[in-house]
Structures are given as C-alpha cells and as structure tokens.
Amino acid sequence: MNQVVKHLICTLSLSLLFPIATFAQQASKKHADAPSKQVSILFAGDMVLADLPGKTIEQGHDPYAAFKDIFASADLRIGNLECVIATTGKAAEKNFTFRAHPRVIPVLKQHFDAVSLANNHSGDFGPEAFSEMLSLLKTQELAYFGGGNNVSEAHRPHIIEKNGLKIALLGYDEFMPRSFEANTNKAGVAWSEDEQVVRDIINARKIYHADIVIPFMHWGWENEMTANKRQRQLARIMIDAGADAVIGGHPHVIQDTETYKGKPIIYSIGNFMMDALDNEAQTLGWVVRLHVNQHGALAWDTRLIKIDPQGTPTPVADANSPCWDKKTGQTKLCSNAQLK
C-alpha cells in the first residue's frame, strides 16, 4: 500500500510541475517573440541662447528653423542648455558668463523634449538665478535634468516613457567651477563623483524601473579632438554600472567615438548654438540620433552641422559623418543626405 501511495504522490507532483514548466516556457517564448519597442533619441550639443542667438529670438526669428525636419526624424530631442535663463543674479568672476532672457523658453520647448543643465555655465549668475531658471522651466513645462534645487533633485533621473519604453536621462558636469554644484540646501548642477554616478545609474533601474539609462556628460578639455584618460575611464564605469550608452559634450569640438561591451560612447558632439567661437573646429558639431529598444542601443547616426558667425547652426547637406549599428559592430561613414 505504501508503494502505491508513493507512486500516486509522485505522479501528482509531476503533473503539477509540468504545467508550471510549460507556462514558464510559454512566457519565455512570448517575451522573445515580443515586438521590439524602438525609440530614437536626438542629442544636440552646447546651446548658448544669450548674445546673438538670443537677439535672433528677440527679433522674432527661430534659430533652430534649419533643423525642423531633422528634429522631426527622432521620437525625442535632448539638448545641453549651456547658459542660465533668468533675470536675476550676479555674474560670477570667470572669463565668460551667459544669461539668456526667459523669452527663449517657448522656442526651446517647441524643439526639445528636455534639456540638460549639467554644465559649467548654468551657474554663471549664482544659485538665485539657477533657482529662477528651474521655476521658469517648470512653469512652461520644459523638462530638465542634471540640476535641481538641491543635490537630490540634481541627481534624479528624468524619466520619459515613449513607445512602451521607460528611458532615464542623467546629466553630469565635471568641469570647473565646482562651486556650481548643488548641495543639500543650494540649487545647482549634478557633479560626477564616480560612486554617486554608479548609484544614480543603479537606482534609475531599481527605483525608477527604467528600461534604458543614458548619461549625458559635460566633461573633457576644451579643443582636444580625442577623449582623455578620465573620460574613457568614467565612460566604462558608467557602462559597467548599467548605462546603455554615453553621450558627451563640453570640449567645443567633436571628439572620437568607441564601443565598450557592445554599448556606444560618443565622447563629444561639439557645439550646436553659440557665437563665442575661437577657431574653425568649434564651428562644427554633430547632432546624434541614437536608436534603442528594450535591450539597449541598436544604432546611432550623426548629422554634421556648421555654426555661422551669428551662432546659428545649419546642416551640412553633402557631408559624410559617422554611424554605427550593433548588428555589425562597425562604425563607418554615412551620407547626411541619406539620413532622413
């Protein structure tokens, strides 16, 4: 009798386990067969909307007009706001200080889904002006990241949900002056301390449940055409922590690109809109269109831009500029005319 009971118990247990295994297999197959949730994100480099670009807007013109179609080719558009937008504050003691009038915000909002504040000019007129900018951006509903009223806000990712994907954007500055950094009771930028950056990337997934995490960096030395040791080291730290791609700016020139663990690093996309330019290389930049799905970066392509003496960019229609796709793992030159 005991053998019969044991046999029945074994049979019953197996019959219960098989459906569970079957359901797990079906769920795994369903996930594998799920359609790709693709999103394209366009990144534009340093934008100073003071001085001549600001005057263009004041006169009722749109300095972004030449990029209308290129911007429309992406699902999301992100730029680095390389100035403070405010009417208050006192200029810091540094070579260049940039403060734009609040009238520029509607133009920015027309073209961008979010802007990074993590740079060495958004604090040019002090914490009071920085706080005013945050208030103005919130009032006009233009999203921002890489800065906040305190250190916690500054390091909080901006989450965008698009096409079924949850994308986390983080912004960091690591170019002086560090006095622009946010602290517990002062508005300012997010500074890129390695341990904090790693925590931020991990938390973007763990707490905010992001599918994709992208740091937008302000780093490197001005006018250097290749990334330095520190940039390369930090890029790898971020990808090891879980970043899906790293996009950089600040050197005011285009720098090199590479792939690490199958994930793209674009060290500097150069300038996008400013009139205070020192040399020919500073008049050239890229807009980068990054293609991602739920598994990470699929590809990226670039459009070469040229900035005129008024600080206004235009696409260089007949140029070839770098592009990459994960399938081949190769970076090559693509024609601007092909990237619609």
Confidence (pTM): 0.89
For CA atoms 179, 181, 185, 187, give the dihedral sign: positive
CATH number of 39-338: 3.60.21.10
Helices (H), the chain: 2-33, 51-58, 68-72, 105-111, 126-139, 151-154, 194-206, 229-241
For residue 336, what pLDDT is reported? 80
For residue 276, what pLDDT is reported? 86
Which residues of the chain register pLDDT less than 70?
1-35, 337-340
For residue 11, what pLDDT is reported? 41
- What are the structural domain ranges in the chain? 39-338
What confidence tens digit (pLDDT) does each residue in 115-148 have?
999 999 999 999 999 999 999 999 999 999 999 9
For residue 143, what pLDDT is reported? 98
Q: Mind giving me the DSSP string for 264-324?
A: EEE--BBEEE-S---SGGGGEEEEEEEEEETTEEEEEEEEEEEE-TTS-EEE-TT-EEEEE
Token reading at 189: 């930028």
What confidence tens digit (pLDDT) does each residue in 10-30 have?
443 433 333 333 333 443 444
